């Protein structure tokens, strides 16, 4: 790490591996915090970033930001202090050899990952230079356009982050927190990211099912269908608990039960379904991530085997009403 002579603050050389919607906003925040940020992107996207900068329209905030970042399509011979890899696990598998070539002490994998143990074991075996591995999930959405990104987020957004198992070392937490110093971006440290990543689809898959049922537009959903999303998630969380999987974040399952939290979640689903916010956060992702949703669905299908079908009645009803994955691939082309 180098030292900034103006404010005596250490500057980290940070790599964002991939130029998707999540990575774009992450890079924006890291630049805002004063880090030296490089984005690894495909050739055409790298050229666009060089030419125009990292342009993001923040929809809810109604503003556009432009950051000057380094954009490359290869990191051969370049070293970094920290590397963020924001992509779903089925794509991570494709680029694992490239990840293992990184010369970084700290690697942070960001996104849905249903086999984090396997990924971590592979990296530890093939990339001895990477000493620390963390997993995270950033809460934001949006879409990628030709020369800019559209970002949907609440406040400064946040990342749920942690080690695969057990609390991260305080010194490591301090190092990561420093990467975001001076911004409103929050880090929520979790004690078991493997459990977190397994639990997370219990909340997102019913949204995906209904999005596909509604032809990619939740605005046409009914009150009864939105209630089904809440009930389906409740059924999934009960299944997870029956399988001995701890719920992370702790207490998330209570948002899908009767009571004030359940009512609040139904109201949130109403807002999400009837607004542009929901379209960018939920539907846009479902339309552009059919392969990811299919892989998550298949994982949960296996996970739920042996659990009584009558206890998954609403979950299976939603799932059965959506088009087949083959049809969705043909329709959305991914």
CA-angle at 215, arms to 213 and 216, nearest 5°? 100
Check pLDDT > 50 for residue 299: yes
Distance CA 110, CA 43 (A): 22
- pTM for this model (two decimals): 0.91
User: Are 235 and 177 spatial neighbours (Cβ–Cβ below 8 Å)?
Assistant: no
| Position with higher pLDDT, 110 vs 275 | 110
Strand order through the sheet with 13-17: 70-72, 36-40, 13-17, 82-86, 106-110, 132-138, 158-162, 186-189
**Domain range list for the chain:** 2-193, 200-332
**Per-residue pLDDT tens digits for 40-52:** 999 999 999 999 9
pLDDT at 154 over 90: no
- Asked if 110 and 29 touch (Cβ cutoff 8 Å), the reply is no
* Mean pLDDT lowest among 68-72, 206-210, 267-271: 267-271
Q: Is residue 287 within 8 Å of 332, Cβ to Cβ?
A: yes
pLDDT in tens, 2-33: 444 323 457 899 999 998 999 999 999 999 99
CATH topology of domain 2-193: Rossmann fold (3.40.50)
Average pLDDT, the chain: 91
The answer to whether the Cα torsion of 239, 243, 244, 248 is positive or negative is: negative
d(CA 236, CA 330): 28
CA dist., res. 323 & res. 319, Å (int): 9
Task: Pull the structure tokens for residue 324.
Answer: 């087949």
Q: For residue 154, how many other CB atoms are within 10 A of its CB?
A: 12
Q: Count other Cβ atoms within 10 Å, centred on residue 18.
A: 24
| pLDDT band at residue 248 under the 50/70/90 scheme | very high
Residue 165, pLDDT above cutoff 50: yes
């Amino acid at each position: 790490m180098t030292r900034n002579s103006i404010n005596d603050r250490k500057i980290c050389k940070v790599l964002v591996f991939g130029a998707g919607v999540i990575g774009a906003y992450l890079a924006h925040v890291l630049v805002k915090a004063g880090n030296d940020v490089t984005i690894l992107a495909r050739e055409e996207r790298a050229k666009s970033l060089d030419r125009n900068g990292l342009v993001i329209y923040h929809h809810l905030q109604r503003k556009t930001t432009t950051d000057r970042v380094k954009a490359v399509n290869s990191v051969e011979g370049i070293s970094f202090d920290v590397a963020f890899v924001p992509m779903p696990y089925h794509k991570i598998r494709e680029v694992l050899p490239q990840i293992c070539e990184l010369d970084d002490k700290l690697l942070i994998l960001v996104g849905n990952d249903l086999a984090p143990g396997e990924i971590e074991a592979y990296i530890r075996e093939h990339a001895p230079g990477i000493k620390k591995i963390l997993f995270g999930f950033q809460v934001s959405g949006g879409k990628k356009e030709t020369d800019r990104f559209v970002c949907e987020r609440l406040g400064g957004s946040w990342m749920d982050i942690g080690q695969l198992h057990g609390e991260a070392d305080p010194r490591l937490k301090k190092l990561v927190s420093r990467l975001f110093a001076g911004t409103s971006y929050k880090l929520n440290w979790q004690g078991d990211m493997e459990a977190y990543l397994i639990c997370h689809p219990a909340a997102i898959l019913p949204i995906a099912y209904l999005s596909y049922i509604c032809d990619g537009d939740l605005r046409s959903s009914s009150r009864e269908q939105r209630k089904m999303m809440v009930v389906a998630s409740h059924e999934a969380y009960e299944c997870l608990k029956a399988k001995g999987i701890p719920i992370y974040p702790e207490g998330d399952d209570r948002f899908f039960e009767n009571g004030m939290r359940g009512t609040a979640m139904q109201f949130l689903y109403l807002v999400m379904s009837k607004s542009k916010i929901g379209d960018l956060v939920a539907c846009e992702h479902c339309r552009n991530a059919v392969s990811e949703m299919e892989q998550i669905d298949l994982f949960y299908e296996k996970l739920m085997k042996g659990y009584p079908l009558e206890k998954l009645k609403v979950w299976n009803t939603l799932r059965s009403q959506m088009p087949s994955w083959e049809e969705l691939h043909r329709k959305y082309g991914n």
